[in-house]
Amino acid sequence: MEAIRLRFPQGLFAALRQQLLADIERESFALLFGQLHRVGPHTLIKIVDVCHPSPEDYESRGLAHLHLRREYVYARLVEMQRRGDVDTLIDVHTHPFSARGAAFSVVDDRDEVLFHQWLNNTLDGVHYASIVLSRGDYSARLWEYEDGQPRALPARIHTQTVLERWPCLEDLDDGEAPVAALDPEQGFLARSTLALGLDVLRHIVRDQCVAVVGVGGLGSAIAENLVHSGFHHLHLIDHDRVETTNLNRIVGAYAVDAEQGRLKVDVVADHLRRINPRARIETHPWPIEDERLLPVLAASDWMLLSTDNHTSRYHTQTLALRFGVPLISAGSNISVDDGRITDMSGEVITARLGDGLCLNCLGRLAPTQIAAETVDGLDEVLERRGYVSGREVKEPAVKTLNALIAALAVEALINQYSGRPTVPILVYEGHAMPRLYPDAESVTRRRKSCFYCG
């Protein structure tokens, strides 16, 4: 059975561990508020907020015990009910006496069963989970009822980046990453290992799942870079078919594919499998609004967005924020005026849950264009972002720009594993004097009270 995912915003889990384990002489406690989502076979809880009790809220505490005042727990339950944006209570406590091997005690089991029963009998629609931290790992579970009896289901903590990840007791003996790809002499990723290091490649190869939303000229180059970089599990999402005018830029597409009108996802998947037959490439020929994609996106570790219209970009980001999945958005633009290129540019935006920025607050999505794209008859009025302006061709006409932006997008993703600094917005301008720079101004001027990510 797949473990329940506990998804933390960027930096929150590390800060929580640091604060709770600062005192190794006494057990410490915190309460988390979360949103529970059941999507197909997956259950995930997105952590929304954390509450730390004050010293006065403890009735007693020591190296191997703690008791909270009931008033504190009741006050947090009242707060949760009033908020309306959370439905799950997660208690976190420490076992500072244990260096490694975090496990719930018999006392923990008894107290949590009683509390779960009380919650179930008292409040409707409130879920309950728990985490115990030792000084070196953790264990987590979600309580549910099965055949009228309380049952603890295993849970795993998912952070926005693997650098913040912490060992789970139940996972300490998991198998290693595929060894053939990482062989230093003959492995598929031998040269990448020399550049990035074995630990980074193990994380990338072993258990990371990336959803690529849009596999046209830009998305197909992103997907190819991902496979070359060692990512073994990709979801390709696009409902369009290959046309003759696509052949100047879609990676892996040939004239026969356009003649047959093959799906872009199938064409790109064939190409990726020829590069790495061991890679798990799954295709989804549906628009991003299709509900069949919800389990796919909810279970992904990253979403890489490269579609060419505001509606699909808005919908993808909405799902990323809903499920707590970090997003990298890539876009390119060529503008033509009177037969002359006036703009050739692109940008890559990294938006992790907890960073406090998104495409909405950065002004990268236009509500009027989203409305026009979703209302019949208005789509022809507006030029879509990422299209060649002033011409009938609907896509950027050169592969070189797509290849450059795709490389920057995948490099931004690899930085999440290697520890190199994250640049929220990276801009490329190539129409005059080519230059690459971080767009700090957009980050500073974003709407900090954003309804979506704030």
The per-residue pLDDT for range 184-236, each reduced to its tens digit, is: 767 788 888 888 888 888 888 888 999 999 999 999 999 999 999 999 999 99
Structural contact between residues 436 and 428, judged by C-beta atoms closer than 8 angstroms: yes
What whole-number percentage of the chain has pLDDT above 90?
Answer: 75
Q: Which pLDDT band holds residue 397 (cuts at 50, 70, 90)? A: low
Structural contact between residues 35 and 88, judged by C-beta atoms closer than 8 angstroms: yes
- Residues 6-29 have pLDDT tens digits of 999 999 999 999 999 999 999 999
Supply the pLDDT for residue 173.
Answer: 46
**Which positions ≥6 away from 71 have C-beta within 8 Å?**
none
State how far the Cα of 154 lies from the Cα of 4, in Å rounded to an integer.
Answer: 6
What whole-number percentage of the chain has pLDDT above 70?
Answer: 92
According to CATH, where is 3.40.50.720 located in the chain? 208-445
Give DSSP secondary structure letters for 223-246: HHHHHHHT--EEEEE---B--GGG
Supply the pLDDT for residue 178.
Answer: 59
State how far the Cα of 62 lies from the Cα of 31, in Å rounded to an integer.
Answer: 19
- Looking at every residue in the chain, the average pLDDT score rounds to 90
Supply the pLDDT for residue 352.
Answer: 97
Supply the pLDDT for residue 148.
Answer: 85
Give the sign of the dihedral formed by CA 434, CA 440, CA 441, CA 443. positive
Counting Cα atoms < 13 Å in the Cβ hemisphere of 303 gives: 33
Question: Mapping DSSP to helix (H, G, I), strand (E, B) and coil, where does residue 389 land?
Answer: strand
Strands 127-133 and 88-94, sheet pairing = parallel
- Asked whether the predicted pLDDT for residue 351 surpasses 60, the reply is yes
Region 377-387: mean pLDDT is 48
**Which positions ≥6 away from 39 have C-beta within 8 Å?**
294, 295, 298, 299, 323
User: For residue 125, what is the DSSP state?
Assistant: S
Please give the biggest Cα pair distance in the chain: 77
According to CATH, where is 3.40.140.10 located in the chain? 4-170
Rounded to the nearest 5°, which phi and psi values hold at 76?
A: -70, -35
Rounded to the nearest 5°, which phi and psi values hold at 201?
A: -65, -35
State how far the Cα of 266 lies from the Cα of 66, in Å rounded to an integer.
Answer: 57
In terms of Cα–Cα distance, which of 28, 190, 164 is closest to 96?
A: 28
Q: Which pLDDT band holds residue 338 (cuts at 50, 70, 90)? A: confident
- Asked whether the predicted pLDDT for residue 439 surpasses 50, the reply is yes
And the tokens for 315?
A: 């919908």
Strands 65-68 and 58-62, sheet pairing = antiparallel
Which class does domain 4-170 fall in? alpha beta
Supply the pLDDT for residue 252.
Answer: 96
Structural contact between residues 40 and 298, judged by C-beta atoms closer than 8 angstroms: yes
- Residues 130-185 have pLDDT tens digits of 999 999 999 999 999 988 889 999 999 999 999 999 999 766 444 445 566 777 76
Which class does domain 208-445 fall in? alpha beta
Place of tokens 């719930």: 104
In terms of Cα–Cα distance, which of 276, 252, 278 is closest to 266?
A: 252
Alpha-helix residue ranges (DSSP H) falling in 252-383: 255-260, 264-275, 294-298, 310-323, 367-374
Amino acid letter for position 450: C
Supply the pLDDT for residue 147.
Answer: 86
Angle between helices 217-229 and 264-275 (to 10 degrees): 20
Supply the pLDDT for residue 388.
Answer: 34
Strands 88-94 and 149-158, sheet pairing = unpaired
